Structure 1
Amino acid sequence: MRAIFLNATLKPSPEPSSTEELCRYVADRLAEHDVTCEHIRLVDRRIDPGVVSEAVSDGDHWPGVREHILAADIVVFGTPTWLGQPSSVVKRALERMDAMIAETDEDGVPVLFNRVAGVVVVGNEDGAHHCIAEIAGAAIDLGLTVPGQAWTYWNKGPGPGEEEYRTTGDREWTHSTGDAMAHVLAHAARALSAAPIPKPPNA
């Protein structure tokens, strides 16, 4: 089994990222379920705006990112919370994935079927549940399967502050929820692999 983590932090590498640290925690738990994990920090790639799978212009990296998504059984979207919203970076990735709704494999099965999705959220403000709901809803529209408890988050709570996931000592709930997230994603992905959803009647 393979998992791809799409990290939608606003911080380019090598700047430390709380989103990446929590994504890597979940990846370590998935590895315990024999899942090979890959991480892409989306802000390090040039992803042009659009709703097509092919390159929008020279230098658009989206086609390569798309290939990594299609090679995975598990797709995890990681995002910070800004103004109670998912980052603009993850929204752009979802917009590009919109093109995949109309794409099918050689058997007529939508290309994102039989993959599961999860969500990781961090931020020093409220909004994690809203971000999870927005991303999960988009993932379902795309054809991904979102099982229950396929998410974890850390947030400081309302108001400004310097504390963040990378520096806090208060991680117990976030990590126990991340443990459950990895457990659910791995088992749901294996279930779909064993009994894949066939071509739907409206395809």
Structure 2
Amino acid sequence: MSEQLEKITKQQCTIAPATYDDLKVLFLNCTLERSPRMSHTEGLIGVAQGILDANNVSHKVIRPVDYEIAAGLGQDMSQTPEWERDDWPQIQAEVDACDILILCTSVWLGEKSSVCNRTLERMYGYTHSFNEKGQYRDYGKVGATLITGNEDGVKHCAMNILFSLSHIGYTVPPQADAGWMGEAGPGPSYRDPGSGGPENDFTNRNTTFLVWNCLHLARMLKDAGGIPAHGNQPEAWDAGCKSDFASPEHKR
């Protein structure tokens, strides 16, 4: 190790550039396994939690599969004729309270889990409501994803999840995805004995980068008061404030 690299390493392992103990992180673990059954994805979440604990960051893990989540895009589907019960509003309250959302899933048939799909659908159902600045609800929040499985699909799932989060208002930092794929086919999953998952340096590195990039970006956004409310307010657009948009009639 060079003297310069040794100095950088020593500094980064002892001194963080800011404090993060006022941030809240929510992990939505979209496993198919209901609690208390073991979740391989939750094993990888534990790596991220260790970094958060070292920096006194508040965090919480929720398994949406433990709840009765109705299908649909309403904010509370129990208020519709189709569903008598809908637990999603409880989860949405936790989403609203967090600064960083890490959406986690296992891979099935090369895709994110059905639970993850429904979670994103229900989050999408809240996008017609706005924050206190008149922006879409999730502006100012940071989004990322953790993925596990024993078949190919990490990058495919990450592309879809990160686009979905960005589309509804989340800010996505660099290196916002990390995952572990075991041997393709009937190979071991992350927490199986001898899988090599918890010891995998590539996965541990990417997970560490993900957590720190989320913390850095959330710190910047929170200190700046979120995304500036200029040129991105739906009601202002509808009222005629086009924010420098040159409409075709103005070009004539």
Normalising to structure 1: TM-score of the pair?
0.94
Q: Could you list the runs of 4 or more consecutive aligned residues of structure 1 that deviate by over 4 angstroms after TM superposition?
A: none
CA deviations over 1:60-83 (Å, ceiling 9, x no partner):
100010000000000001100001
Please give the root-mean-square deviation of Cα atoms over the aligned residues, in Å: 1.3
* Aligned residue identity for 2:142: V
Q: Percent identity?
A: 35
Structure 2 residue 225 is matched with structure 1 residue 198: no
Which has the greater radius of gyration? 2
Alignment counterpart, residue 211 of structure 2, candidates 169, 182, 189: 182
Following superposition, the deviation at residue 200 of structure 1 comes to 4.3
- What CA deviation, in whole Å up to 9, does each residue of 1:146-177 have, x standing for no partner? 1111121000143222x111022242211111
Please tell me whether the aligned partners of residues 94 and 138 of structure 1 are also in contact (alpha carbons under 8 angstroms): yes
Unaligned runs of 5+ in 2: 1-22, 235-252
| 1:51-200 matched pairs, under 5 angstroms | 51-56=73-78, 57-161=83-187, 163-167=188-192, 168-170=195-197, 171-195=200-224, 196-200=226-230
What is the rounded CA distance, in whole Å, between the counterparts of 2:43 and 2:205 in structure 1? Answer: 15
Unpaired segments ≥5 residues, structure 1 = none
| Post-superposition offset of 1:30 | 2.2
Q: In 2 relative to 1, CA 160–200 (structure 1 residues): closer, same or farther, beyond 3 Å?
A: farther
Higher relative contact order (CA 8 A, sep 6+): 1
2:30 corresponding residue in structure 1: 8
Deviation at 1:101, TM superposition (A): 1.8
Q: Which amino acid aligns with 1:169?
A: G
Q: Does 1:23 align with 2:45?
A: yes
**Residues in 2 aligned to 1:35 and 1:193: alpha-carbon distance in whole angstroms:** 14
CA contact (8 A) 1:4 1:76 kept: yes
AA at the equivalent of 1:173: F
Counterparts of 2:107 and 2:128, CA distance in 1 = 30
Question: What TM-score, normalized by structure 2, do the two folds share?
Answer: 0.77
Output the CA distance in 2 between the equivalents of 1:20 and 1:60.
24
One-letter amino acid of the structure 2 residue matched with residue 165 of structure 1: Y
CA distance in 1, matches of 2:228, 2:54: 29
Query: How far apart, CA to CA, are the structure 1 residues paired with 2:130 and 2:228?
Result: 11
Equivalent-residue separation in structure 2 for 1:76 and 1:94 (angstroms):
12
